[in-house]
Structure 1
Amino acid sequence: MDDSLERLGLAVSGGDAVEPERMVFADDGRIPNTPLASLAFHSRGVDPALDRDAIAARFERLFTASGWPPSWRGGVYEYHHYHSIAHEAFGVLAGRGRLRLGGEKGQDVELNVGDVLVLPAGTGHCHLWASDDFLLLAAYPEDQRELDLIRADPDAHDAAVARIAKVSRPLRDPLGGDLARWWA
Structure 2
Amino acid sequence: MPVKDQIKNFARKLVEEHPDAATLRALVRARKPTAIHFRDDGIVPNNPKLPALLYRGAVKLKGRRFPPEVIIDTLFATNGWARSWRDTVYDFVHYHSQIHEVMGVARGTARIECGGIKGRILNVKAGDVLVLPAGTGHRLIESGRDFLVVGAYPQDGTYDECTDTRERTDAIKRIAKVRKPKTDPVLGTGGPLLRHWRPHSSRS
- TM-score band (shorter)? 0.7 to 0.9
The structure that is helix-richer by fraction is 2
Aligned partners of 2:34 and 2:53 also within 8 Å: yes
Identify the residue that residue 174 of structure 1 maps to in structure 2. Answer: 185
Aligned partners of 1:23 and 1:37 also within 8 Å: yes
TM-score (norm 1): 0.87
CA distance in 2, matches of 1:49, 1:129: 26
Instruction: Mark the runs of 5 or more structure 2 residues left unpaired by the alignment.
Output: 1-20, 199-204
Call closer, same or farther: CA 1:123–1:20 in 2, change over 3 Å: same
Call closer, same or farther: CA 1:70–1:49 in 2, change over 3 Å: farther
Aligned partners of 2:95 and 2:134 also within 8 Å: yes
Identify the residue that residue 168 of structure 2 maps to in structure 1. Answer: 157
1:20 aligns with 2:36: no
**Helix, strand or coil at the partner of 1:82:** coil
Identify the residue that residue 80 of structure 2 maps to in structure 1. Answer: 67
CA distance in 1, matches of 2:170, 2:119: 22
Task: Give the superposition deviation at 1:2.
Answer: 2.1
Task: Give the superposition deviation at 1:70.
Answer: 4.4
CA distance in 2, matches of 1:45, 1:67: 17
CA distance in 1, matches of 2:34, 2:98: 24
CA distance in 1, matches of 2:81, 2:62: 26
TM-score (norm 2): 0.79
CA distance in 1, matches of 2:44, 2:61: 37
Identify the residue that residue 128 of structure 1 maps to in structure 2. Answer: 141
- What amino acid maps onto 1:77 in structure 2? Y
The structure that is strand-richer by fraction is 1
- What amino acid maps onto 2:171 in structure 1? A
1:4 aligns with 2:24: yes
Call closer, same or farther: CA 1:28–1:110 in 2, change over 3 Å: same
Count the aligned residue pairs: 174
Call closer, same or farther: CA 1:149–1:47 in 2, change over 3 Å: closer
- What amino acid maps onto 1:171 in structure 2? K
Identify the residue that residue 52 of structure 2 maps to in structure 1. Answer: 38
Instruction: Mark the runs of 5 or more structure 1 residues left unpaired by the alignment.
Output: 12-16
